[in-house]
Each structure stands twice: as structure tokens, then as C-alpha cells.
Amino acid sequence: MENVKEETLVIDCSIEKALDVIGSKWSFLILRELFGGTKRFSELQRAIKGVSPKALTNALRHMEENEIVIRKVYPTVPAKVEYSLTDKGQDLHKIIKEMKLWGAKWG
């Protein structure tokens, strides 16, 4: 019985760690957009209804710090900035797809 408790704790910690890496609810919506390819900040803002520039910036920074998103700045005036997923970020696609299916079924 004690082994089951230890295994449950490990699973719970792994889920908590994954959620911490992903971040806020906005992160899920950013992922949804970036699964379709590289996007600029303004494209993300238009696609994600209700997100403020500050919330979008914070979510993107969090995802960049956790190596989910790559931010590429082009030396133009005005500066062109693009966001894309790392391999680690692409690896979330299966998980997000399953959450979408679950939400459609039970939401």
C-alpha cells in the first residue's frame, strides 16, 4: 500500500511540474496558435480573444524561460519579432489535443 502512495506522489509532482512549465491559461491558447506555425506578437494578440498585451507578454516570457517558445528578433525598424515552438513545445501537441477532445466531450 505504501508503494502506491509513493507512486501517486511522483505522478502528482510530475503533473504539477508540467503545469508550472506551461504557465497560465493564456499559454494553452498561445500553444494552440503556435502549433500552426510561427507567429508575430500582433498575430497572436488578434487570434487570442480577450488577452491584454501585458498578459500575452508575460505568458510568452514565461514560456521562453521554460524553453517552450523561441523568440526571434529581426533587426528592422520597427523591430520584427516572431515566436515559434521549440521541440519541447512541439512535444506538448499530443497533450493539448487530448485536453481539447476531453473538453469537447465533457465541457
In CATH, what class is 2-106?
A: mainly alpha
The predicted-structure confidence for 12-66, as pLDDT tens digits, reads as follows: 678 888 888 888 889 999 999 999 999 999 999 999 999 999 999 999 999 999 9
Q: Where are the domains of the chain?
A: 2-106
pLDDT of residue 21: 83
User: What does each C-alpha distance from 55 to 26, 29, 51 come to in angstroms?
Assistant: 8, 12, 6
Given a cut of 70, whether residue 2 has pLDDT beyond it is: no
* Closest to 60 measured CA to CA, from 80, 36, 84, 77: 84
Contact in structure between 40 and 80 (CB atoms under 8 Å)? yes
